[in-house]
Amino acid sequence: MDLSGKTVLITGASRGIGAASAREFAKAGANVALVARSADATAELAGEIGPKAVAIPCDISRYWEMEQAVKNCLTAFGRLDIVVNNAGVIEPISHLATANPDDWGSVIDINLKGVFHGMRAALPVMLDQGAGTILTIGSGAAHGPVEAWSHYCASKAGALMLTRMADKENRDKGIRALSLSPGTVATRMQEEIKGSGINPVSQLDWSSHIPPDWPAKALVWMCGPEADEWLGAEISLRDEDIRRKVGLA
């Protein structure tokens, strides 16, 4: 995939899937806007990638910050072609009957409202250009309940519907919107899940998790025409056929 001349903005870019995606998109020739709350980590990653990367500190749960992040991206690179709505949290893991309402709401602010903020800030720019790709990190949790993950399951189900809405309202205007369900990935989130000791996911052996560069490579692949049959839908990296298409088999 040659993305030379294209610009991608990635939320949650300081670590995990976000950081791996930044490296993969840069490798494909794209300019990369690294958006995350951790200014030091994104600045370090931008330094590693070089002049094709810019670090933009941002709390995606606040719309005005996301809007400013898009403006900063345009100032740096002059355009915005791809948005990867990657930022997400799962802590605190807790049962519905005992969950702290404020903490529960904070997860919704990041995992669901943050996705809306990314779409809302980017879509006017993309619509003006007549083209753009919006990618959302989905989850199997969007499709079924997982014990003590009410906030995560609800937010991921909502994020998938936002992806479907972005497609329904904008496909005929040149916008491509897709979701990627990567499965379990060896990131800090999985460490938090394992530490909780709740539900079968926490019992998985670490070797069963895929490395972050697998979903990163899939996201780059999703920017090409081969992925068009999944517009408005979710691609699962558990699917062996998808892994072959991406080159991971």
User: How far from chain centre, in Å, is Cα 152?
Assistant: 14
Dihedral class, residue 12 (left if φ above 0, else alpha if ψ from -120 to 50, else beta): left
Nearest to 58 by CA among 98, 27, 18, 92: 18
The tokens for 134 are 């919006």
Confidence of residue 20 (pLDDT cuts 50, 70, 90): very high
pLDDT score for 210:
78
3-state class (DSSP) for residue 75: helix
The tokens for 208 are 């069963």
Mean pLDDT on 52-75: 97
Cis omega before residue 124 (within 30°)? no
| pLDDT, tens digit, 9 for 90 and up, residues 204-238 | 777 778 788 999 999 999 999 999 999 999 999 99
pLDDT, mean over the chain: 93
R_g of the chain, CA atoms, integer Å? 17
| pLDDT, tens digit, 9 for 90 and up, residues 141-190 | 899 999 998 999 999 999 999 999 999 999 999 999 999 999 877 777 77
75 CB-near residues (< 8 Å, 6+ apart): none
63 has catalytic annotation: no
pTM exceeding the 0.85 threshold for the entire prediction: yes
DSSP 226: G
Residue type (1 letter), 35: V
The single residue of 152, 214, 221, 230 carrying the catalytic annotation is 152
pLDDT score for 92:
92
Structural domains of the chain ordered from first start: 7-246 (3.40.50.720)
3-state class (DSSP) for residue 55: strand
